[in-house]
Amino acid sequence: MMGESCVDTADCEVGLSCFEHEGAETSPVCMPDCDLATTRLCAGGEVCTPPDPSGPARDPNLGVCYLGGTTEVGGDCTPDPDRPGVASLTCVRGAICVEVSDAFNCYRACDTADGSACDASETCTALEAMGTNGFCLPTP
């Protein structure tokens, strides 16, 4: 079941994978699978995140809908060099680590096709080379 503790993916239901959950009470946990080639923002608002490249071998396009860390939107984050263009695993559910004006912070993820995840004071801004995947940038 999603969010349940696991040792490996065999412990999870079909369609879920065992994945580290930064800052969680229990880690790793079962998280929904997603297709990295087509999905950046999962149906539940989670960010589709690649697995750890040093982990078990799996399809390179198979990610997980990351349940989130503890760094709130607006907080400082550090991108993972092994997972370019991907959420820092410390950002809360639905947030990604983005560099703006030479600083890395957690921003809400959004889809530029509708921008509905953003507040009225924000603009859904495209992530470079990521299709309609974007982040909510405060409007100046």
Q: For 37-78, write each residue's pLDDT tens digit.
A: 777 778 777 888 877 666 667 787 888 898 888 889 999 987
Which segments in the chain show pLDDT lower than 70?
Answer: 22-26, 52-56, 80-88, 129-131
For the chain, the domain total comes to 1
Average pLDDT in the chain: 82
- pLDDT number for residue 33: 93
- pLDDT number for residue 87: 52
- Alpha helix locations (H) across the chain? none
- For residues 94 and 110, what is the distance between their CA atoms, to the nearest angstrom? 8
- Inside any domain, residue 4: no
- pLDDT number for residue 23: 62
- Inside any domain, residue 3: no
Burial of residue 26 (number of CB atoms within 10 Å: 0-12, 13-18, 19+): exposed
Which amino acid is located at 43 in the chain? A
- For residues 69 and 88, what is the distance between their CA atoms, to the nearest angstrom? 9
- pLDDT number for residue 109: 87
Give the predicted TM-score (pTM) of the model: 0.74
- Inside any domain, residue 77: yes
- Inside any domain, residue 93: yes
Is residue 72 within 8 Å of 55, Cβ to Cβ? no
- Inside any domain, residue 42: yes
- Inside any domain, residue 38: yes
- Inside any domain, residue 2: no
Domain that holds residue 110: 9-138
- pLDDT number for residue 61: 81
